[in-house]
Amino acid sequence: MLLENTRGSDTAPVSRFTRLRQLLTRPEMAFLMEAHSGLSAKIVEEAGFEGIWASGLSMSATLGVRDNNELSWTQVLDMLEYMSDASSLPILVDGDTGYGNFNNFRRFVKKLCQRGVAGVCIEDKIFPKTNSFLGENQPLADIDEFCGKIKAGKDTQEHGDFSIVARVEALIAGRGLEEALKRAHAYADAGADAIVIHSKKSSADEILAFCREWNNRAPVILIPTKYYRTPTDRFREVGASMVIWANHNLRSSIQAMRDTCAELKRSETLIDVEDSVAPLADVFALAGAGELEAAEKRYLAASNGSAQGVILAATRGESLGDLTLEQPKCMVPVRGRSILGRQVEALNRHGVSDITVVAGYRADAVTVPGIHKVVNEDHATTGEAASLALALERLDGAMVLSFGDIVYRPFFLGLLEEREEDIVLLVDPDGGTTGRDPVACTMPFSDDPDLGGVAPLLTRFVEGKGDVTSDGEWIGLLRASAEGTRSLKAELAEMQAEGSLGSADTGAVLTRLAEKGTRIAVVYVRGYWRNVNDVMDLAQARDSM
């Protein structure tokens, strides 16, 4: 089966088989990255690699078995099928010893070609194999028998550019350079398309010596797992065609999982873990949720689509002094990233990529990539509501609204999804008498999770600080459904018509909606955010975020 999903020109499709062959034979050195699942294959492609090494060690470890042919060749095929479906990259699979004699191997080659897997690497050891990095003096296959296996594979392949790579284990077995060269030449004579010369020494000296003696008779592939200190340019100098990073996705994932498990066992809370792991939106994106959403729009009733972002960032922030002479406070750095940059990154992690920023003071200095900038030319004489009205002119669906001067943990955006009302606010119960935007709610914060199914709603924004009727402070984050956005736009239009828009803040708009019967949900949060109003706030944000 010929899989042709990449084009070399407007009329000439290039198969994955051909692309792997091109990587092996082109003048510049190529790099393959290890993958062991459909997910890791997508990540390899996302990172920009040109090909995938389907590691036998990694696939075995993923299923919790040893790299001693405990994973059957049919199980390997199943995993490869997911990887091939998930990525458009050519795959070179670690075929161990070929899973038996020449007959087993040629059946394996046939099945690989049917699944669009571009090549296979087999090693000249005895079946069942032992991982090359375990033990000493591992037995090697008979040269003639291994050559027969190569010939059988070449006679069976169903695409002319399918690549069979012979892995020479003579250095692993302690047989020396002469034996390694002898075997490599025999395998090339038998039709191998490339040679892997393998070593478990921490020095690359014997690998480099092999490459010099080999003199580019056929492409040479190196796997520098053990001699990782060797500069990559040394491999180029001796004519290596390809380098394989053989197991590092697996090993990095093991460390990450251990760190997460250890932290959760210690702390018994997700608070300090959530921001260090990939967001759920990233998982959904890698799994192809976006494609399914697009397909649903085509084949099923249209959906609302993903939310858009709005960030109100028109003010200077005079209390920050010289820090905002040449830039608005949304561009003030917190731990090396601007406040606005942090917000855009958090929204992106949550799956919000269409972001409108309403700038005003020094709008030219608002330069975060990936935003749509709207300028409130009257920012000095108007309030938040006027800026919001400008932003909503280009919105027609769900949105997430943020003030441009708050620093918060990205998991806050997920909290906005906890309620089904058309407008949802995050409120900190500890800021009710001192915060910028105190609110009164239908019920105060409670540590008791069993409230009989009753959840708090916004009653109104409180006029001044210190009002004892306040139940907390709105932190400046809001989610609105498509219907909620329409309600906000209608209220802003009504305020514009009556002349009250220019001086109003967002709280006034939300209070008007609540008084008209709109159910505005409140989700209480404590800590993990900071409103940056002055230098003290900035210092605390830098310390706590």
Active site residue ranges: 67
CB 205: neighbour CB atoms within 10 A? Answer: 11
Amino acid, single-letter form, for residue 69: N
Q: Encoding tokens for residue 28?
A: 């510049």
Which residue stretches of 63-101 are H helix? 73-86
Q: Cα–Cα distance between 343 and 404 in angstroms, integer?
A: 8
Amino acid, single-letter form, for residue 353: S
Q: Cα–Cα distance between 518 and 535 in angstroms, integer?
A: 37
Asked if 432 and 472 count as a contact pair (C-beta separation under 8 A), the reply is yes
> DSSP letters along 297-353, please?
HHHSSPP--PPEEEEEE----GGGGGGGSSS-GGGSEETTEEHHHHHHHHHHHTT--
- Show the CA angle centred on residue 504, arms to residues 347 and 482, nearest 5°: 40
Of 353, 398, 389, which Cα lies nearest the Cα of 501?
389
Amino acid, single-letter form, for residue 154: K
Query: In angstroms, what CA-CA distances link 295 with 5, 101, 280, 397?
Result: 20, 46, 21, 19
SS3 content of the chain, % helix, strand, coil (to 5): 40, 20, 40
Q: Cα–Cα distance between 247 and 223 in angstroms, integer?
A: 10
Q: Encoding tokens for residue 392?
A: 């909503």
Of 435, 409, 442, which Cα lies nearest the Cα of 507?
435
DSSP-assigned beta bridge partners for residue 357: 311, 373
Q: Cα–Cα distance between 451 and 95 in angstroms, integer?
A: 59
Query: In angstroms, what CA-CA distances link 87 with 57, 228, 245, 249, 453?
Result: 20, 27, 18, 16, 45
Q: Cα–Cα distance between 408 and 431 in angstroms, integer?
A: 15
Q: Cα–Cα distance between 525 and 445 in angstroms, integer?
A: 9
Prior bond of 128 cis (ω within 30°): yes
Of 523, 31, 38, 508, which Cα lies nearest the Cα of 241?
31
